[in-house]
């Protein structure tokens, strides 16, 4: 059995185990429900335009504003329609707006004389969207890499604790174990994110947010390769961290560098997303580029060549970390008599692997 076949075998085993894990399945369902609720419910709760009772002579400006107009014969009928809760508001001679307990802003605005507004930057991103998009990109990458990374480390430690790793190493190359776990984690993570993205896209369409979807499309398109390669980089680090530990209780201690590599870029993108210089730097740093570069593409701050250069840097860095992680993994996997130091795992690779 060559390394490729062994990697495929390990990856298939890891995927089968995870798909039978109720925690993983319920977690995926939970995120799907959040994605659906976050895209469908806000427009529904926002409600539609007000229904207005009005005589025909006063109906024209309300129709022009897109309000639902119900024509009544006189002002008394309009007032009664409001009291009977048949309409949200009424417009009577004056004109005056009648409502029960809350002034209908859309009706008032339709009857008001407003000055001409000329936008100097009509393509500017809505401030709320500008805040939410970097948070969503960063949160998705942070949560996914953290969740699946910890699971990879726990899987490695479990195999060491049960000594099953000795049987696995006798059957397949050590590097195939690492590669299989990373590949399986990447496939599962991408599948989960893809499902969530499909639900979110459908929710945006149902919620009539197609314009936002059009703005997000280029950023999402670039987020996919950045996400996959960035995940491979971090997954190799998580697997190596797991190999250094010998008990589940040790995972927090050995994974501190990996935790920092995930958390620092997350908070940097969240808090510095409005700083153009900082975001330009973050979009080329391998640990933050999976979220920073798609965000710059969304806001239109990145030139066409920049994501390509950033992706090349990320690929080269991921390759280097995979090789380094494999060396640490090989040098510590069969050491089951306590935590292994990084220095020992690096130096003893040849004698243990």
How many independent structural domains does the chain possess?
2
Examine the domain organization and report whether 74 and 178 are in the same domain: no
Examine the domain organization and report whether 254 and 303 are in the same domain: yes
Q: How many angstroms from the chain centroid is the CA of residue 17?
A: 25
Which residue in this structure is represented by tokens 């700083």?
275
Mean pLDDT of the chain: 76
The model's pTM: 0.68
Structure confidence at residue 316 (pLDDT): 94
Within a domain: residue 115?
no
Strands 68-71 vs 96-98: parallel, antiparallel or unpaired: unpaired
pLDDT in tens, 74-133: 878 878 887 887 877 777 777 777 777 766 666 766 666 556 655 555 455 555 555 666
Q: Which of 154, 140, 139, 143 is nearest to 18 (CA)?
A: 154
Distance, in Å, from the CA atom of 154 to the CA atom of 225, rounded to the nearest integer, reads 26
Task: Specify whether the CB–CB gap between 29 and 22 falls below 8 A.
Answer: no
Within a domain: residue 352?
no
Within a domain: residue 257?
yes
Examine the domain organization and report whether 64 and 176 are in the same domain: no
Examine the domain organization and report whether 164 and 209 are in the same domain: yes
Within a domain: residue 118?
no
Within a domain: residue 196?
yes
Q: Which of 11, 35, 13, 31 is nearest to 23 (CA)?
A: 31
Examine the domain organization and report whether 166 and 63 are in the same domain: no
pLDDT in tens, 133-154: 667 777 878 888 888 888 888 8
Q: Where in the sequence is the domain holding 244, given as residue range(s)? A: 3-42+125-346
Examine the domain organization and report whether 29 and 62 are in the same domain: no
């Amino acid at each position: 059995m060559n390394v490729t076949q062994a990697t495929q075998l390990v990856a298939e085993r890891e995927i089968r185990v995870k798909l039978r894990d109720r925690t993983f399945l319920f977690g995926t369902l939970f995120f799907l429900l959040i994605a659906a609720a976050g895209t469908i419910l806000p427009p529904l709760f926002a409600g539609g335009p007000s229904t207005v009772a009005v005589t025909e002579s006063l109906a024209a400006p309300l129709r022009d504003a897109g309000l639902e107009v119900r024509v009544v014969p006189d002002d008394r009928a309009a007032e009664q329609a409001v009291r009977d809760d048949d309409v949200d508001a009424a417009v009577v001679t004056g004109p005056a707006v009648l409502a029960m307990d809350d002034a209908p802003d859309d009706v008032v605005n339709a009857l008001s004389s407003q000055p001409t507004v000329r936008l100097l930057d009509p393509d500017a991103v809505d401030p709320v969207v500008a805040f939410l998009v970097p948070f969503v990109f960063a949160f998705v990458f942070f949560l996914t890499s953290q969740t699946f990374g910890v699971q990879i480390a726990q899987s490695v430690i479990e195999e060491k604790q049960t000594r099953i790793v000795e049987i696995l190493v006798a059957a397949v190359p050590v590097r195939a174990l690492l590669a299989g776990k990373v590949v399986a984690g990447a496939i599962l993570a991408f599948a989960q994110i893809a499902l969530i993205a499909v639900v979110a896209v459908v929710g945006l369409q149902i919620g009539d947010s197609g314009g936002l979807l059009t703005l997000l499309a280029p950023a999402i398109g670039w987020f996919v390769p950045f996400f996959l390669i960035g995940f491979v980089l971090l997954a190799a680090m998580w697997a190596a961290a797991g190999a250094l530990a010998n008990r589940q209780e040790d995972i927090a201690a050995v994974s501190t560098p990996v935790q920092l590599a995930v958390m620092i870029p997350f908070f940097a993108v969240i808090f510095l997303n409005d700083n153009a210089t900082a975001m330009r730097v973050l979009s080329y740093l391998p640990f933050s580029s999976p979220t920073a570069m798609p965000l710059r593409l969304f806001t239109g701050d990145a030139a066409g060549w920049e994501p390509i250069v950033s992706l090349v840097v990320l690929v080269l860095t991921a390759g280097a970390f995979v090789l380094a992680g494999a060396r640490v993994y090989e040098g510590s996997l069969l050491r089951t008599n306590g935590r292994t130091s990084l220095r020992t795992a690096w130096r003893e690779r040849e004698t243990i692997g």
